[in-house]
Amino acid sequence: MAGIHAQIDNGAIASYVSNVCPLGTTFHLIEVGWLECDEGFVVRGGNSSLRSTRDVSFVNKRRELVLYCVLIDHPHEGLILWETGCGKDYPEIWGPAASDVFARVRYEPKHELATAIQATGHNIKDVKKIIMGHLHLDHAGGLDQFLDRKDVEIWVHEEELKSAFWSVATGADEGVYLGHYLNPNLNWKTFDEQTLDFCQGITLHHLPGHTAGLVGMQINMQKTGTFFFVSDHCHVIENWRDGIPQGWLARDHAAWSRTTAPRELVLWPSISSSAVSPKLFSLLAMKMGEMLA
């Protein structure tokens, strides 16, 4: 068993994985900003008070969260974008209440989606398809860059699209979905399967829990193995590594627990713990670029 684990650690793909990317496929991690929130949102029990410490004053622990996208250069499908970040001018668009809860703490010109894509040697105008893990404002806000792009397919699970549009129309779950980017004129594409082979080497998995229609994206690279991007299924590494459930942002804990299982792959939660600094994220992204070149 130890030998198998060593092979997987070195990039081997399990024999039962048949959907492998064609040679020439590359992908980049794109940093699109940093937010900060109370730990109670992302870790169950975070900042909880106890009777035994009722007389002890403390300041709530907060977590800095990196926002990222994945840009895939696929020989057959063209340029594919996984999620879009918060979008332009999002503190103003979100409003003061949401921006205070999820505060923008680091944002530079390089974090603009178009600029970040350009830094990889590509152009945002060349994006052919977008895969959305889910449609909350911090992941789908960047769809505002594609409102006039009917040629770009926006792929999302059917349950997520229904939930998002219903929330905007009724005001339910107010604040996490915004009509600003949930435009019916976008070229929406949906699927309702538990697992979908999106294209050669890329498989989408339905992972309800944080939202009804959240999906994760599995990429099987020929030389470097399997990578799994799980959107907000895991906010921080404790959700995955330690099995600690999500905090106040969870919608369906039972569904989340059923779809959270150990996998022998490289996992990228949607947002990192406070231990990951901007410098470390940049180094990780650079190292991954070297691995996938």
The domain segmentation of the chain, as residue ranges, is 2-45+62-287
Percentage of the chain surpassing pLDDT 70? 80
Confidence band of 292 (pLDDT split at 50, 70, 90): very low
Find the mean pLDDT for residues 207-234. Answer: 90
Q: Place 224 in a pLDDT band, splitting at 50, 70 and 90.
A: confident
Assign 288 a pLDDT band (cuts: 50, 70, 90). Answer: very low
293 — pLDDT class (breaks 50, 70, 90): very low
d(C-alpha 79, C-alpha 74), whole Å: 6
Edge-first strand order for the sheet with 26-38 is 103-106, 26-38, 62-74, 78-82, 127-131, 153-157, 187-191
pLDDT in tens, 14-62: 555 678 999 999 999 999 999 898 888 788 778 787 888 888 887 888 8
| pLDDT 10s digits, 154-188 | 999 999 999 999 999 999 887 899 999 999 999 99
Fold designation for 2-45+62-287 = Metallo-beta-lactamase; Chain A (3.60.15)
pLDDT value at residue 285: 47
The structure tokens 């399997």 sit at 226
Under 8 Å between Cβ of 82 and 30:
no
Which of 139, 147, 145, 152 is CA-nearest to residue 77? 152
236: its two tokens: 């921080």
Q: Which letter, b or e, does each residue of 39-52 get, where b requires 16 or more Cβ atoms within 10 Å of its Cβ?
A: bbbbbeebeeeeee
List pLDDT tens digits, range 134-158: 999 999 999 999 999 999 999 999 9
Residues in Cβ contact with 74 at an 8 Å cutoff, skipping those fewer than 6 apart: 21, 22, 25, 80, 199, 200, 201, 202
| pLDDT for position 65 | 86
